[in-house]
Amino acid sequence: MRTASPILPLISFAAFAAVLVLTGVSRADDSGAPVPPPSSPLPAGAVPALTTPTRSTPLSASQTSATPINGAETDTRSAGFTGWAKPAWLTDLSFGIKESYDDNVLRVSGKGLPADSSSVDVLSLKLGLDLSSWLAADPGTIQTFSLIYQPDRAIYNQAPSENFTAHRLNTVLKGRSGNLTFSFDDAFLYNDGSKLAPTYALNQLSNADANQNDKYRNSLAHAPARERRNQYQDRYAALLQYDTKYLFFRPISGLNYINMDTYLFNTSLAPYKGYQDYVDRYDVNVGGDLGFKVSPTWAFTLGYRDGYQYQQQYSETINSDQHESSNHYQRLLFGLEGKLSWLTLKLAAGPDFRDFNPNTPINDLHTTRYYGEAAATANFSPSQSLTLNYKDYVFVSSTGLVPYEEYTYSLVYHWNMSRQLGIDLGAKLFEHNYTLGNDSTGSAPSLRLDFDYEALGGITYAITPHLIASLTYNYDEGRNGLGTLPAKYEPSYRDFEEGVFSAGLQYRF
């Protein structure tokens, strides 16, 4: 078993308290975007937020919620067939059910373990509370103070080991007082899933018939299964922003905390050959941005972050390889953010100065890497939009030992064909590059460059303002990108395909 840090889960509360103490107030909405004052180049609710505490981890469409945080918008102020209209402080009360068919639950190649399929039932609730009136503050200071509780129960009928219940609690606090803007956005997750991770092995033999080659699968293949396991996660983004006519200053902090509560075994011995051990990890940083306004709605930014990434080290009884890649980083960011009548944009990029600990399996412990992220939304008309997201950064692997570079690209087109009918079409690309390290052991050695190409399409139809139906299809194709990979690492086992068809129904009070 593992020992988790008792301090990190308190960081979110400390940041939350700091915002309250420094500002006396705050508030927010589901988008997670900072809400600046009118003099800021970022109009309220307009700019895509790079600080939204979400993860770029690729999930299977079969395990996502039936009551999404950002779903189709309908007017539910009038009572539905129940005759009951929710009070103003109850911002959201909805129930959802989603039925899916997943044709490759573990995203394996099928050359060893079979690509098993399953039907999946997801039952969801979303409860949103507006607590802005609970805080004593000057009128208009608190713009948003909301809590959203969202439990999801996922049942894999032909693969019960993948069943889980996710408990999500999102806290959003944003506000404004004069030239000062405040924002705190926290996303907490407790996932009540199996503590036994998957075993990626066809058998436990040691002779010529042995086959544990699935342990070399695509690193983007085990992410969905990992996210179904028992764990705690907490992510927050907190900021203050002070505006003047030509400048703004924005202190900022962020956390990505992942505490895996799964069993650990020595995978060199039967019956645990191919079993996947997971480690705890986190990324926490503080810093600030200085904005130079070139117009009332546009600004160039210069930013700095001081951060630390932690990766749990395996005990020697679990793994004789004692590498771990915890590191300190300093990051310079050059950015642009703003809004036109049809375009909202925020981007930042710059050098990432890394200092890895001496146990890191990397050739240069003091290395400079690239960091970049961007979010843009183009509204071609009141009914059509195109959303682009991009991120490139270095993190520590969930399977231990090594660091890796993660790239995420997403492009989604939305069209409201009518007041009732909407369509979504999109494409995503995920890339995990482990070649910055030099470790040749484990299930995720440094000899690894993995891709996941995803295409998606969906239709939503508002039967009534309260009752919404949806149909979606997601297709993922995983590929090995390292043509020089030695045969002993079984490169063909890194290729996979997964298709998920889903039909959902959501009722909103």
The predicted structure's pLDDT at residue 55: 60
Integer Cα distance of 24 and 389 in angstroms: 33
Q: In this predicted model, what pLDDT tens digit does every residue of 71-120 receive, in sequence order? A: 566 666 676 777 787 888 899 999 999 999 999 999 999 999 999 999 99
- Confidence bin at 52 (pLDDT 50/70/90): very low
CATH of the domain at 480: 2.40.160
Within a domain: 371: yes
Within a domain: 277: yes
Within a domain: 1: no
Q: Is the pLDDT at 335 greater than 80, yes or no?
A: yes
Integer Cα distance of 291 and 308 in angstroms: 25
Domain count, the chain: 1
The predicted structure's pLDDT at residue 35: 32
Residue with tokens 């993860």: 55
Integer Cα distance of 467 and 418 in angstroms: 16
Within a domain: 3: no
Lowest mean per-residue pLDDT among 287-301, 430-444, 446-460: 430-444
Within a domain: 169: yes
- Confidence bin at 446 (pLDDT 50/70/90): confident
Q: Which residue, 140, 133, 143, 129, is CA-closest to 33?
A: 143
Lowest mean per-residue pLDDT among 70-74, 143-147, 420-424: 70-74
- Confidence bin at 282 (pLDDT 50/70/90): very high
Q: Is the pLDDT at 26 greater than 60, yes or no?
A: no
Q: Is the pLDDT at 10 greater than 60, yes or no?
A: no
Q: Is the pLDDT at 273 greater than 70, yes or no?
A: yes
Q: Express as a percent the part of the chain with pLDDT over 90.
A: 75
The predicted structure's pLDDT at residue 440: 80
Domain membership of residue 407 as a residue range: 8-508
Q: Which of 59-68, 124-133, 300-309, 429-438 has the highest mean pLDDT?
A: 300-309
Within a domain: 389: yes
Phi, psi of 472 (to 5 degrees): -140, 155
Q: pTM value?
A: 0.87
3 state DSSP class of 268: coil
The predicted structure's pLDDT at residue 18: 40
Within a domain: 2: no
Within a domain: 379: yes
The predicted structure's pLDDT at residue 67: 79
